[in-house]
Amino acid sequence: EALEAEVYHFITKPYDMDKVETIVAQALEKKSILQKNKELMIELKEAKARLEEKVLERTEQLRNQLSINMNLIELTKKQNQELFQKNVMLEEKQQKLEEAYQNLQETKFFLEHVVDHYPFAIILTNENGIITKVNKQVETMFSVNKKEVIGNSIYQESNDIMGLPVERIQEIYRITESGRSWQGE
Protein backbone atom coordinates (compact mmCIF):
# COMPACT_ATOMS: atom_id res chain seq x y z
CA GLU A 1 0.00 0.00 0.00
CA ALA A 2 2.81 2.34 0.87
CA LEU A 3 4.52 1.68 -2.47
CA GLU A 4 1.28 2.25 -4.38
CA ALA A 5 0.81 5.54 -2.55
CA GLU A 6 4.33 6.47 -3.70
CA VAL A 7 5.70 6.54 -0.16
CA TYR A 8 9.33 7.46 -0.31
CA HIS A 9 10.56 6.27 3.04
CA PHE A 10 9.38 5.35 6.45
CA ILE A 11 10.93 5.67 9.86
CA THR A 12 10.68 3.18 12.64
CA LYS A 13 10.37 4.17 16.24
CA PRO A 14 12.25 5.40 18.16
CA TYR A 15 13.34 7.90 15.53
CA ASP A 16 16.08 10.43 15.45
CA MET A 17 15.04 14.00 14.54
CA ASP A 18 18.15 14.57 12.45
CA LYS A 19 17.35 11.46 10.51
CA VAL A 20 13.74 12.70 10.02
CA GLU A 21 14.99 16.02 8.64
CA THR A 22 17.34 14.27 6.23
CA ILE A 23 14.64 11.87 5.04
CA VAL A 24 12.07 14.70 4.64
CA ALA A 25 14.65 16.79 2.70
CA GLN A 26 15.38 13.79 0.49
CA ALA A 27 11.65 13.15 0.01
CA LEU A 28 11.03 16.78 -0.97
CA GLU A 29 13.99 16.67 -3.35
CA LYS A 30 12.71 13.43 -4.85
CA LYS A 31 9.22 14.93 -5.21
CA SER A 32 10.73 17.98 -6.90
CA ILE A 33 12.78 15.75 -9.22
CA LEU A 34 9.72 13.63 -10.03
CA GLN A 35 7.67 16.78 -10.72
CA LYS A 36 10.44 18.14 -12.95
CA ASN A 37 10.66 14.74 -14.65
CA LYS A 38 6.87 14.81 -15.32
CA GLU A 39 7.18 18.31 -16.77
CA LEU A 40 10.12 17.25 -18.94
CA MET A 41 8.23 14.17 -20.10
CA ILE A 42 5.27 16.36 -21.09
CA GLU A 43 7.64 18.73 -22.95
CA LEU A 44 9.32 15.74 -24.57
CA LYS A 45 5.95 14.35 -25.74
CA GLU A 46 4.96 17.76 -27.10
CA ALA A 47 8.34 18.16 -28.82
CA LYS A 48 8.02 14.63 -30.21
CA ALA A 49 4.53 15.44 -31.54
CA ARG A 50 5.82 18.70 -33.14
CA LEU A 51 8.78 16.83 -34.60
CA GLU A 52 6.55 14.11 -36.02
CA GLU A 53 4.31 16.81 -37.49
CA LYS A 54 7.33 18.53 -39.08
CA VAL A 55 8.61 15.19 -40.36
CA LEU A 56 5.23 14.54 -41.95
CA GLU A 57 5.17 18.04 -43.48
CA ARG A 58 8.71 17.68 -44.80
CA THR A 59 7.97 14.18 -46.08
CA GLU A 60 4.97 15.58 -47.97
CA GLN A 61 7.12 18.42 -49.36
CA LEU A 62 9.77 15.92 -50.45
CA ARG A 63 7.10 13.73 -52.06
CA ASN A 64 5.79 16.74 -53.95
CA GLN A 65 9.31 17.75 -54.98
CA LEU A 66 10.08 14.19 -56.02
CA SER A 67 6.89 14.11 -58.07
CA ILE A 68 7.87 17.40 -59.74
CA ASN A 69 11.38 16.08 -60.37
CA MET A 70 10.01 12.87 -61.86
CA ASN A 71 7.72 14.90 -64.12
CA LEU A 72 10.69 17.06 -65.15
CA ILE A 73 12.75 13.95 -65.87
CA GLU A 74 9.95 12.52 -68.02
CA LEU A 75 9.55 15.85 -69.80
CA THR A 76 13.29 16.08 -70.36
CA LYS A 77 13.36 12.52 -71.72
CA LYS A 78 10.51 13.35 -74.07
CA GLN A 79 12.21 16.57 -75.20
CA ASN A 80 15.50 14.72 -75.70
CA GLN A 81 13.73 12.10 -77.81
CA GLU A 82 12.03 14.83 -79.86
CA LEU A 83 15.34 16.68 -80.29
CA PHE A 84 17.04 13.44 -81.32
CA GLN A 85 14.33 12.77 -83.90
CA LYS A 86 14.59 16.35 -85.19
CA ASN A 87 18.36 15.99 -85.33
CA VAL A 88 18.02 12.79 -87.38
CA MET A 89 15.58 14.54 -89.73
CA LEU A 90 17.91 17.52 -90.04
CA GLU A 91 20.84 15.24 -90.79
CA GLU A 92 18.77 13.54 -93.49
CA LYS A 93 17.78 16.93 -94.92
CA GLN A 94 21.39 18.06 -94.80
CA GLN A 95 22.44 14.91 -96.64
CA LYS A 96 19.78 15.57 -99.29
CA LEU A 97 20.86 19.20 -99.56
CA GLU A 98 24.48 18.16 -99.95
CA GLU A 99 23.46 15.72 -102.68
CA ALA A 100 21.34 18.40 -104.37
CA TYR A 101 24.23 20.87 -104.10
CA GLN A 102 26.57 18.31 -105.65
CA ASN A 103 24.08 17.73 -108.49
CA LEU A 104 23.73 21.49 -108.92
CA GLN A 105 27.50 21.90 -109.09
CA GLU A 106 27.73 19.13 -111.67
CA THR A 107 24.91 20.67 -113.71
CA LYS A 108 26.52 24.11 -113.46
CA PHE A 109 29.85 22.70 -114.61
CA PHE A 110 28.12 20.90 -117.47
CA LEU A 111 26.16 23.99 -118.56
CA GLU A 112 29.23 26.21 -118.34
CA HIS A 113 31.10 23.68 -120.45
CA VAL A 114 28.26 23.62 -123.01
CA VAL A 115 28.05 27.44 -123.12
CA ASP A 116 31.84 27.83 -123.41
CA HIS A 117 32.07 25.32 -126.25
CA TYR A 118 28.91 26.31 -128.14
CA PRO A 119 29.80 27.30 -131.74
CA PHE A 120 27.84 30.60 -131.58
CA ALA A 121 28.40 33.67 -129.43
CA ILE A 122 26.42 33.60 -126.18
CA ILE A 123 26.02 36.62 -123.92
CA LEU A 124 24.19 36.05 -120.60
CA THR A 125 22.86 38.99 -118.56
CA ASN A 126 20.97 39.42 -115.33
CA GLU A 127 17.54 41.12 -115.18
CA ASN A 128 19.21 44.56 -115.22
CA GLY A 129 21.10 43.86 -118.41
CA ILE A 130 24.47 43.45 -116.70
CA ILE A 131 26.63 40.95 -118.54
CA THR A 132 27.33 37.97 -116.26
CA LYS A 133 28.87 35.47 -118.70
CA VAL A 134 30.14 35.26 -122.23
CA ASN A 135 31.52 32.27 -124.07
CA LYS A 136 34.75 31.95 -126.05
CA GLN A 137 32.96 32.74 -129.34
CA VAL A 138 32.13 36.26 -128.01
CA GLU A 139 35.81 36.85 -127.40
CA THR A 140 36.65 35.63 -130.90
CA MET A 141 33.81 37.38 -132.79
CA PHE A 142 34.08 40.75 -131.05
CA SER A 143 37.82 40.63 -130.37
CA VAL A 144 37.34 41.32 -126.66
CA ASN A 145 38.53 39.77 -123.45
CA LYS A 146 35.63 38.42 -121.37
CA LYS A 147 37.08 40.15 -118.27
CA GLU A 148 36.54 43.51 -120.04
CA VAL A 149 32.94 42.69 -120.92
CA ILE A 150 31.58 41.00 -117.76
CA GLY A 151 30.02 43.54 -115.38
CA ASN A 152 29.09 46.04 -118.14
CA SER A 153 25.53 46.80 -119.16
CA ILE A 154 24.42 45.50 -122.53
CA TYR A 155 22.00 48.47 -122.82
CA GLN A 156 24.47 51.35 -122.57
CA GLU A 157 24.23 53.36 -125.77
CA SER A 158 27.82 54.35 -125.33
CA ASN A 159 28.80 50.69 -124.99
CA ASP A 160 31.26 50.18 -127.75
CA ILE A 161 33.14 47.40 -126.02
CA MET A 162 31.65 44.86 -128.40
CA GLY A 163 30.89 47.28 -131.23
CA LEU A 164 27.14 46.59 -131.20
CA PRO A 165 25.06 49.21 -133.02
CA VAL A 166 22.71 51.33 -130.90
CA GLU A 167 19.67 50.12 -132.85
CA ARG A 168 20.50 46.51 -132.10
CA ILE A 169 20.93 47.27 -128.37
CA GLN A 170 17.53 49.06 -128.31
CA GLU A 171 15.92 46.10 -130.08
CA ILE A 172 17.42 43.69 -127.52
CA TYR A 173 16.26 45.99 -124.71
CA ARG A 174 12.62 46.14 -125.98
CA ILE A 175 12.37 42.38 -126.44
CA THR A 176 13.94 41.42 -123.11
CA GLU A 177 11.94 44.08 -121.21
CA SER A 178 8.78 42.24 -122.26
CA GLY A 179 10.14 39.07 -120.63
CA ARG A 180 11.11 37.24 -123.81
CA SER A 181 14.57 36.10 -124.87
CA TRP A 182 16.35 37.77 -127.73
CA GLN A 183 18.11 35.67 -130.31
CA GLY A 184 19.78 36.95 -133.39
CA GLU A 185 22.96 37.79 -135.22
Angle at 34 between CA 49 and CA 8, to 5 degrees: 150
- In angstroms, the Cα distances linking 20 to 9, 82, 83 are 10, 90, 90
Phi/psi-derived region of residue 112, left when phi > 0, alpha when psi is between -120 and 50, beta in every other case: alpha
Sequence-distant (≥ 6) Cβ neighbours of residue 151 within 8 angstroms: 130, 131
pLDDT over 60 at 181, yes or no:
yes
User: What distance in Å separates the CA atoms of residue 51 and residue 45, rounded to the nearest whole number?
Assistant: 10
Give per-residue pLDDT as tens, 18-43.
888 988 898 889 889 989 999 999 99
Mean pLDDT of the chain: 87
Sequence-distant (≥ 6) Cβ neighbours of residue 147 within 8 angstroms: none
Mean pLDDT of all residues in 4-10: 74
User: What distance in Å separates the CA atoms of residue 132 and residue 154, rounded to the nearest whole number?
Assistant: 10
Give per-residue pLDDT as tens, 83-141.
999 999 999 999 999 999 999 999 999 988 998 888 888 888 888 878 899 999 888 88
Q: Among 60, 59, 62, which residue's Cα sits nearest to residue 70?
A: 62
- The answer to whether the beta carbons of residues 11 and 19 sit under 8 Å apart is yes
